[in-house]
A and B are shown apart, each in its own frame.
Chain A
Amino acid sequence: MSSRAAILARLRAQASAGPSAAAQPPYRPTPVDDLGARLLERAKTVLATGEAVASLADIPAAVARYLASHELAAEAAVAADLAGLSWAASGICVLDAPSRRSVPASVAFAPAAIAETGSLMLTSREAPWANLLADTHFAVVRRGDILPSLEEAVGRIGGNRLPRSLHVVTGPSRTGDIEQTLELGAHGAVRLHIFVAP
């Protein structure tokens, strides 16, 4: 008998394995009026930063301001669907971002975000590589793509079929592995800045 058959047969033979508790109602966070504000407020509690912008056109200048205020080079890899913004006019040098290369900064859409926890949802459909490998990650999320909870974001992105990977990112990368003391930038982003766009 294969291990599969043996394991399943043993489990099925265990009539005593306890009564099945009733299915639980799904948890949903208390509704809020402004999901964008909630997202940014929650993101700040996990050491991300963020701002609402009036239009996508405001983003290059905002990126330039952020990089300057952190004394970082005015350069970033930019996702194809944001490449048309006026980066050069804001003094940002757009980096060529081959798919498997670390970049100092990256700007890309997050296809969904979660207001409850201040999280972004990245997926394998948009090649989340640059964002996972960048020191500074600028995420752009449209108001309509901000969902109240993780479950609703999975439902929105999933549709008929889930992407191969979903990455729910809540704040910059961190570790407490040395003396239980928080340090940012273990493997993923050292800094995370969110733009909420219309």
Chain B
Amino acid sequence: MTALDFKGRAARAMHDPQLSAALLRVKSHFVTGRNMAAARFADFETLRDRAAAIRRRSIARMPDLLERFEASAEAAGAKVHWAADAAEARSIALGILKAAGAKTALKSKSMVTEEIELNAYLEAAGIQPIETDLGEYIVQLRGEKPSHIIAPAIHLSKQDVADTFRSHHTDLDPERDLSQRNTLVREARVKLRAAFLSADAGITGANMLVAETGSIVLVSNEGNIDLTATAPRLHVALVGIEKVVETWDEAGTILRVLARSATGQDMSSYVTCLTGVAGEGETGPKESHIILLDNGRSAVRDTDRREILACIRCGACLNHCPVYASIGGHAYGSIYPGPMGSVLSPAIDGLKAHADLPNASTLCGRCEEVCPVRIPLPKLLRHWREDGFARHLPPRGERVGLGLWSWMAGRPLAYGLSQRLARLGLRTLAWMQGGRVRRLPVVKGFTATRTIAPPKGGSFQARWKGPR
């Protein structure tokens, strides 16, 4: 997926009626659910304040907490690896799987493994990754990428899923009835159950690393993570270095805001906590590896965008974003879509690869209003815009226009004159076009879907000075 033609992809997405119908469900399900869950909790705003403070404290103390996590995890029998970038993380993971002779690897939903494009790499090396989250399983069968960080198949209808299953599950009766959602869920359950009981390795991400005990914490609703991380003889977790917190008390508070903000649940159906390896008489793998991934995270910590590292990947900013609601996840051209993605993706891949993303926002501020850890996403997007402008990334026309505006806005006489000319121009156009401005020259797109009333009276400045 290339990130270079964001505008084209966005335009296509906005004219896709099926996608629009799917995106309406984001609003009716996730947004309503989150609001109800927040209202049920006695003092959700205070809980958010605490979660925000916990994440910022964790980022400030990151090196100490990571070292403590490593020591605790290794004392419990896990092996901790450090990867500077995606290539190193992939090669460490492959090395572990090869050394254990693994041919198949279950996978739970993990944004970090999407970020480093692990599946394609493993397949090329002869290891079959099997996505076990239903949404991820569906998009894997279709050869697509997830379009939402917690609801990967949100862009698809149940008919799409039925068609996908019919064309891939060729051992089943082609005439079977797949018109009901629960039949589709049941079919995936049976298909994947066989994989759970036979795969050589399990690969997961992590929602948190708990430094005091060296544990990793994961959440799911399907129960697939519990099986992925405990059924095979080998477990590999890939985790961004920003996911660390110090204590279980801190982890508990994050879990309370996470599920409420993500799906509107008070608690995710399954919270899976993994510490070290299985001891004598315990169920679970005897070999466990945790790969800590940097991939741009430590660099962004040294900038005024460091608060994006507080993100707990709940998806609330996507769900509440009017731009995401119009174009869906794929149009962003990054595995992390929506407001958090538009801040994080340039930090991971470089601003040049995602120059349009900081502008893929109206800065309306709803994302910041609902962010459980109070990340000031509009402010961080503006920082990227400033960076982009300073590096001459926007197209020439846009830069010249902004330059002109900036020159004029600093000179009251020129500004006043330009406003007078604009008023005159709009009135003339309205007179010519039958009372309202229906077609603007140069910026034709602006009047493609709206008309403008001619300006009445003097300028705002004149009215402000005059009798009020």
Contacts and interface: CB of A to CB of B under 8 A. Distances in A.
A72 to B, nearest CB: 16
Given A6-B84, A170-B269, A179 B227 contact: no
* A101, A129, A165, A171 — most chain B CB neighbours (10 Å): A165
Given A117-B266, A180-B30, A8 B197 contact: no
A42 B297 CA distance: 39
A162 interface: yes
B174 interface: no
A69 interface: no
Interface string A11-45: 11010111111111111001000000000001001
Which interface class (under 10, 10 to 19, 20 to 34, 35 or more) fits A? 35 or more
A176 B262 CA distance: 12
B24 to A, nearest CB: 10
B420 interface: no
Nearest to B298: A10
A165 B267 contact: no
Interface string A176-192: 11111101011111000
A165 B226 contact: yes
Interface string A115-152: 00101000011011100110000000000000001110
A89 interface: no
Contacts of A167: 226, 270-272
Nearest to B161: A178
Interface string B52-70: 0110110111110011000
B47 interface: yes
Interface in A83-130: 99-102, 117, 119, 124-125, 127-129
A177 B138 contact: yes
A42 B40 CA distance: 13
A174 B33 CA distance: 15
Contact of A14 (B215, B226, B269, B301): B301
Contacts, number: 251
Contacts of B250: 24
B144 interface: no
A188 B270 contact: yes
B249 interface: yes
A175 B134 contact: yes
A21 B60 contact: yes
Interface in B247-282: 248-250, 252-253, 255-256, 263, 265-279, 281-282
Contacts of B161: 178
Interface stretch (A59-67, A73-81, A153-161): A153-161
B224 interface: yes
Contacts of A56: none
A27 B252 contact: yes
Given A7-B294, A164-B275, A183-B182, A23 B57 contact: yes
B184 A176 contact: no
A100 B226 contact: no
A100 B198 CA distance: 10
A154 B273 contact: yes
Contact of A27 (B76, B256, B299): B256
Contacts of B282: 124-125, 163-164
Say which size band chain B's interface belongs to. Answer: 35 or more
Contacts of A46: 265-267, 269
Given A117-B266, A186-B185, A16 B253 contact: no
Nearest to A166: B273
B25 A180 contact: yes
Nearest to B198: A100
A180 B60 contact: no
Contact of B226 (A2, A99, A132): A132
Contacts of B294: 3, 7
Nearest to B132: A187
B269 A11 contact: no
Given A21-B60, A125-B281, A176-B151, A8 B66 contact: yes
A178 B158 CA distance: 6
A28 B272 CA distance: 20
A178 B185 contact: yes
Nearest to B61: A20
A11 B301 contact: yes
Given A11-B298, A125-B282, A166-B272, A173 B267 contact: no
A168 interface: yes
B224 A27 contact: no
B276 A164 contact: yes
B164 to A, nearest CB: 11
Which 7 pairs of residues, A with B, have the shortest CB-CB distance? A188-B223, A186-B222, A177-B135, A26-B249, A4-B82, A168-B271, A20-B60
Given A168-B270, A175-B222, 7 more contacts: A7-B241, A7-B294, A24-B250, A25-B50, A164-B282, A165-B283, A180-B30
8 contacts: A26-B253, A168-B272, A170-B268, A177-B152, A179-B158, A187-B196, A187-B223, A188-B222
Interface of B: 22, 25-26, 28-30, 42, 47, 50, 53-54, 56-57, 59-63, 66-67, 76, 82-84, 88, 132-135, 138, 151-154, 156-158, 161, 181-182, 184-186, 188-189, 192-193, 196-197, 213, 215, 221-224, 226-227, 229-231, 241, 248-250, 252-253, 255-256, 263, 265-279, 281-285, 292, 294, 298-299, 301-302, 306
Interface of A: 2-4, 6-8, 10-12, 14, 16-27, 30, 42, 45-46, 99-102, 117, 119, 124-125, 127-129, 132-133, 149-151, 154-155, 158, 161-181, 183, 185-189
